[in-house]
């Protein structure tokens, strides 16, 4: 079975584009908009990777990531955000929570490279 | 299965026609030879029958003459009966011989002459046995003494032998002809078989050639098909790769647009969150962008401010001796202007004092405009500043 990715973002356009891209790469994708949905999805099925936004409508992304980490401690998490943070600062402050930090302004190819580095190809 | 080529089909057809013609010719010739053989056989039987009758005549004449002389000596009626029977049989033999030689005029005429002489001998015999039956011994002796006897019979026998030899010669000639005919028939049949074998060989060669050509065509078609399949697969893979690339590029474009819009909204949110007035200017001090604080403080709508002159909403304190607007001068010189006293003009006529900081906006090394940040100050500060 192909590897699965849980994607959390409150913006529908972002969810749709990244979901379509990951599906084209062969991954199974479950896209959710809220922190509650993300926690439910993570309990239902163990994802191979979690990609989460920093700013969610009803909750802080970092809080959500922390709770996901409690549920699925071995699952790598990518923080994908439009809030620009210095990469060095991000590594130092978020290193214990997320496996990678990527700005949304980066091309999809960069995101794909990071996914491949963390969990390999889709099959 | 590929159909036979038209030219090969017509060649095979003509070859089979040739085979049929040869077989028909050989069969016709064989039938003709059989008919000839049958006719020859009849002729041979006829000839042997003729020869047989010639010999019967000769032997019958000799026997009848002997019996006639025996009866003349003995006068025994049994000898007379035998003599009469012998000459009667001789007569039958001559009739048969005449009938058998009627088709051969020369033989027939010669035979008639011989038969005449035989009949003369038969007449003599009748005269002798009549005289003997009447006990006329003198007459019998006279008749026998006058008869040339064996010379005449020998002459008739030679004549018959000549006729018989002629018939044998004809038989020999016929056998020779039959032998030649048989040999010719053998040759014709042999040649027919050989010719048919050659024609069948030609048919086989044509078929073999056609099969070889078909195999070559099949091999070429198979190879071409394989190449075509390879090209199709290659082309399909190329198209798939191109399609995937286009899909990826399209998604990348969408992603870029979405992320930039997100970033723009985020930046706008930050700028609008600032309480100070943020005004983006061209070098001619025309307003191009403002934050929410400007609208809120001046009470003017965006469209009445943007593309208008800065002077409509901000009055800049200037040194009359200097002449040029200090903001325009700072932008011209490409330097910052900090905390310059200004008055913000509300739509309702209010005059709100503030301090303006101008930061030149650079595109590469050229100053293309500036960002003015106006901080509202308390009345005491403004009075002091102004």
Where residue B300 falls among pLDDT bands split at 50, 70, 90? very high
Residue B63 confidence (pLDDT) above 50: yes
| Residue B277 DSSP class | E
Report yes or no on B225 lying in a domain: no
Would you state the pLDDT for residue A62? 86
Which carries the bigger pLDDT value, residue B324 or residue A70?
A70
Residue B187 confidence (pLDDT) above 50: yes
Q: How many residues are given for chain A?
A: 123
Q: Do B193 and B312 lie in a common domain?
A: no
Q: Do B55 and B202 lie in a common domain?
A: yes
Tell me whether residues A105 and B263 touch, CB distance under 8 A.
yes
Would you state the pLDDT for residue B75? 86
Report yes or no on B224 lying in a domain: no
Tell me whether residues A108 and B255 touch, CB distance under 8 A.
yes
Q: Do B282 and B203 lie in a common domain?
A: no
Domain count, chain B: 2
- Is the C-alpha dihedral spanning B74, B79, B80, B86 positive or negative? negative
Give dist(CA B375, CA B281) in Å, integer: 16
Distances (CA, A) of B126 to A7, A122, B89, B114: 156, 144, 14, 18
Q: Does A10 touch chain B (CB under 8 A)?
A: no
Report yes or no on B265 lying in a domain: no
Q: End-to-end CA distance of chain A, in Å? A: 7
Domain boundary residue, one of B210, B226, B252? B210
Contacts 24+ apart (CB under 8 A), B84-87: B84/B129, B86/B60, B87/B60, B87/B122, B87/B125, B87/B126
Which carries the bigger pLDDT value, residue B381 or residue A123?
A123
As a whole number, the mean pLDDT across chain B is 89
- Chain A residues lying within 8 Å of B264, measured CB to CB: none
The pLDDT of A85-93, averaged and rounded, is 76
User: Whole domain around residue B372: which residue ranges?
Assistant: 274-385
Q: Do B160 and B279 lie in a common domain?
A: no
Distance of CA A43 to the CA centre of its chain: 16
- Chain B residues lying within 8 Å of A108, measured CB to CB: 248, 251-252, 255
CATH code assigned at B364: 3.30.450.20
Interface confidence (ipTM) of the complex: 0.91
Distances (CA, A) of B109 to B43, B102, B302: 20, 9, 160
Residue B160 confidence (pLDDT) above 80: yes
The pLDDT of B245-253, averaged and rounded, is 92
Domain boundary residue, one of B170, B188, B210? B210
Tokens of B318: 């200037």
Q: Do B188 and B314 lie in a common domain?
A: no
Report yes or no on B146 lying in a domain: yes
Would you state the pLDDT for residue B5? 67
Question: Which domains, from first to last, does chain A contain?
Answer: 4-117 (3.40.50.2300)
Q: Do B194 and B288 lie in a common domain?
A: no
Report yes or no on B200 lying in a domain: yes
Rounded to a whole number of angstroms, the CA Rg of chain A reads: 13
The pLDDT of B133-157, averaged and rounded, is 83
Report yes or no on B239 lying in a domain: no
Would you state the pLDDT for residue B176? 93
Distance from CA of A91 to the nearest CA of B (A): 21
Domain boundary residue, one of B210, B229, B246? B210
Where residue B85 falls among pLDDT bands split at 50, 70, 90? very high
Q: Which helix (H) or strand (E) holds B153?
A: helix B150-273
- Chain A residues lying within 8 Å of B259, measured CB to CB: 14, 82, 104-105
Least confident of A64-78, A79-93, B32-46, B124-138: A79-93
The pLDDT of A80-101, averaged and rounded, is 81
Give dist(CA A74, CA B381) in Å, integer: 60
Identify which of A59, A57, A104 has the alpha carbon closest to the alpha carbon of residue A78: A104
The pLDDT of A7-17, averaged and rounded, is 93
Q: Do B184 and B298 lie in a common domain?
A: no
Residue B324 confidence (pLDDT) above 80: no
Residue B21 confidence (pLDDT) above 90: yes
- Contact yes or no for B137/B144 (Cβ under 8 A): no
Q: Nearest by CB to B266, which of A14, A20, A83? A: A83
Q: End-to-end CA distance of chain B, in Å? A: 107
Would you state the pLDDT for residue B3? 61
Where residue B385 falls among pLDDT bands split at 50, 70, 90? very low
- How does pLDDT run across A28-46, given as a tens digit for each residue? 999 999 999 999 999 999 9
The pLDDT of B227-245, averaged and rounded, is 94
Distance from CA of A69 to the nearest CA of B (A): 26
Identify which of B146, B51, B161 has the alpha carbon closest to the alpha carbon of residue B114: B161
Report yes or no on B296 lying in a domain: yes
Question: At a CB cut-off of 8 Å and minimum separation 6, what does B331 contact?
Answer: B281, B283, B285, B358, B360, B367, B369, B370
Q: Do B280 and B356 lie in a common domain?
A: yes
Tokens of B282: 């061209």
Which carries the bigger pLDDT value, residue B264 or residue B219?
B219
The pLDDT of B162-171, averaged and rounded, is 93
Among residues of chain B, what percentage have pLDDT more than 90? 56
Distances (CA, A) of A54 to A9, A107, A119, B66: 8, 18, 21, 163
Tokens of B378: 């308390």
Report yes or no on B243 lying in a domain: no
- Chain B residues lying within 8 Å of A81, measured CB to CB: none
Q: Does B248 touch chain A (CB under 8 A)?
A: yes
Other residues' Cβ atoms within 10 Å of the Cβ of residue B364: 5
Residue B318 confidence (pLDDT) above 80: no
Rounded to a whole number of angstroms, the CA Rg of chain B reads: 76
Q: Does B250 touch chain A (CB under 8 A)?
A: no
Least confident of A103-117, B134-148, B212-226: B134-148
Identify which of B116, B80, B86 has the alpha carbon closest to the alpha carbon of residue B98: B116
Q: Is A26 left (phi over 0), alpha (psi -120 to 50) or beta?
A: left
Other residues' Cβ atoms within 10 Å of the Cβ of residue B73: 11
Among residues of chain A, what percentage have pLDDT more than 70? 99
Q: What share of chain B is helix, strand, coil (3-state, %, to 5)?
A: 75, 10, 15
Give dist(CA A14, CA A16) in Å, integer: 5
């Amino acid at each position: 079975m192909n590897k699965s990715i849980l994607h959390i973002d409150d913006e529908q356009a972002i969810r749709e584009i990244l979901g379509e891209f990951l599906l084209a790469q062969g991954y199974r994708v479950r896209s959710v908009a809220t922190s509650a949905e993300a926690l439910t999805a993570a309990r239902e099925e163990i994802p191979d990777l979690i990609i989460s936004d920093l700013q969610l409508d009803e909750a802080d992304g970092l809080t959500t990531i922390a709770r996901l980490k409690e549920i699925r401690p071995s699952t790598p998490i990518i923080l994908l955000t439009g809030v620009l943070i210095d990469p060095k600062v991000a590594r130092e402050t978020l290193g214990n929570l997320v496996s990678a930090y990527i700005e949304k302004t980066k091309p999809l190819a960069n995101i794909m490279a990071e996914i491949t580095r963390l969990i390999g190809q889709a099959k | 299965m590929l159909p036979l080529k038209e030219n090969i089909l017509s060649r095979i057809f003509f070859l089979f026609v040739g085979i049929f013609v040869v077989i028909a010719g050989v069969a016709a010739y064989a039938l003709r030879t059989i008919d000839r053989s049958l006719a020859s056989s009849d002729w041979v039987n006829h000839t042997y029958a003729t020869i047989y009758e010639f010999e019967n005549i000769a032997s019958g004449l000799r026997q009848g003459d002997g019996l006639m002389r025996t009866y003349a000596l003995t006068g025994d009626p049994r000898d007379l009966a035998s003599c009469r029977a012998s000459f009667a049989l001789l007569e039958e033999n001559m009739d048969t011989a005449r009938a058998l030689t009627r088709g051969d005029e020369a033989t027939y005429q010669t035979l008639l002459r011989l038969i005449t002489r035989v009949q003369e001998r038969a007449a003599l015999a009748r005269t002798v046995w009549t005289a003997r039956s009447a006990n006329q011994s003198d007459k019998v002796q006279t008749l026998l003494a006058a008869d040339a006897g064996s010379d005449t019979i020998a002459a008739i026998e030679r004549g018959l032998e000549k006729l018989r030899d002629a018939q044998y010669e004809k038989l020999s000639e016929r056998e020779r002809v039959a032998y030649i005919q048989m040999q010719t028939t053998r040759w014709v049949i042999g040649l027919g078989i050989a010719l048919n074998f050659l024609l069948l060989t030609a048919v086989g060669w044509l078929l073999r050639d056609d099969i070889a050509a078909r195999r070559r065509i099949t091999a070429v078609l198979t190879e071409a098909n394989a190449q075509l399949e390879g090209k199709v697969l290659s082309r399909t893979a190329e198209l798939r790769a191109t399609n995937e690339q286009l899909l990826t590029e399209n998604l990348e474009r969408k992603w870029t647009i979405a992320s930039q819009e997100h970033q723009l909204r985020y930046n706008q949110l930050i700028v609008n969150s600032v309480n100070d007035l943020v005004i983006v200017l061209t070098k001619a001090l025309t307003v191009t962008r403002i934050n929410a604080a400007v609208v809120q403080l001046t009470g003017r709508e965006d469209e009445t401010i943007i593309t208008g002159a800065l002077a409509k909403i901000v009055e800049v304190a200037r040194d009359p001796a200097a002449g040029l607007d200090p903001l325009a001068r700072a932008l011209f010189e490409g330097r910052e202007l900090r905390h310059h006293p200004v008055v913000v003009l509300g739509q309702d006529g209010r005059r709100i004092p503030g301090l303006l900081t101008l930061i030149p906006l650079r595109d590469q090394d050229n100053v293309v405009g500036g960002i003015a940040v106006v901080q509202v100050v308390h009345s005491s500060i403004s009075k002091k500043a102004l």
